[in-house]
Structure 1
Amino acid sequence: MNAESKEPKSRYLQYLELLTGSLEEKKRWRQYKARVKQLPENYRTAVEALERYLMHFGPADGAGAMAMFTDLADLFEQSAADGTPIRDIFGEDPVEFVEAFMANYPLGQYRARERNRFTSAIARAAGEDTERRDGTD
């Protein structure tokens, strides 16, 4: 079934997706994994390590995560084609790279918002700051 199709899903497909998750997202995941498998070994190793990190700390929803993984595959395919060294992609601090990468996706931004909220709460509790900086009431 095409994600852009305007036809209603059958009850069977609705039930199946309720149990298993979006079939379209599963298809996109398989396509992403096939793309990664085609990368040169060192790029594939880097992507798989980054993927593992993102599975633990990245966006949790299917659509948001798939957009991020698709962009990740694009980045590494282009880098491999250009011969960009792995260290030039990640820089000296791979965690800084991945945190900046995740911040570009809506569900990755919640982490920065929660860090600010947490820091503000501790500052208020310590009597250092009485003004909320996290934008919440």
Structure 2
Amino acid sequence: MRIQEIIEGKKEWRAHVARVKALPQDYQIVYKEIQKYFYKVGPVELTEGTGLLSGIIDLFEEGVVLGKGVLEVTGRDVASFCDDLIKDSKTHADIYQESVNQEVNKAMKNVTDKKK
């Protein structure tokens, strides 16, 4: 990664954080919980810029404009809201599972080949 890319990434992140801080307090609290949830669950898209998180901020900003409370936007079950957003996304857990399965299959093939 070039230095220029790092600088641009930091600028993009600072602008992202500024948008979060501009939201009402209840929206900020829910956003931070969503962010923590995603970091734990591990959708791969989180490591590819701020696209998913920026989309949530867009949705939240729209909710503010419409005068809605944050739970009117997400629903009372915020974890389900998050799961719905990433249901078709690959997670780091998925990648790890695939890796484990490939290793097991390779090892089993070696065992089978040795028996022949």
Report the TM-score, using the length of structure 2 for normalisation. Answer: 0.66
Unmatched tracts of structure 2, length 5 or more: 102-116
1:29 to 8, 13, 31: 13
The question of 1:61 aligning with 2:47 is answered yes
The higher-RCO structure (CA 8 Å, 6+ apart) is 2
Q: Which runs of 4+ in 1 moved over 6 A?
A: none
Alignment of 1:102 onto 2:86? yes
TM-score by length of 1: 0.57
1:120-135 to structure 2, matched below 5 A, reads none
Name 2:62's counterpart in structure 1.
Answer: 78
Provide the identity percentage.
Answer: 22
Shift of 1:39: 0.7
Moved more, 82-91 or 33-42: 82-91
Q: SS at the partner of 2:90?
A: helix
Aligned length: 94
Structure 1 portions without partners, runs of 5+: 1-12, 122-137
RMSD: 2.7
Superposed displacement of residue 24, structure 1: 2.0
Deviation, 1:49, is 1.3
Whether the aligned pair in 2 keeps the contact of 1:25 and 1:62 (CA below 8 Å) is no
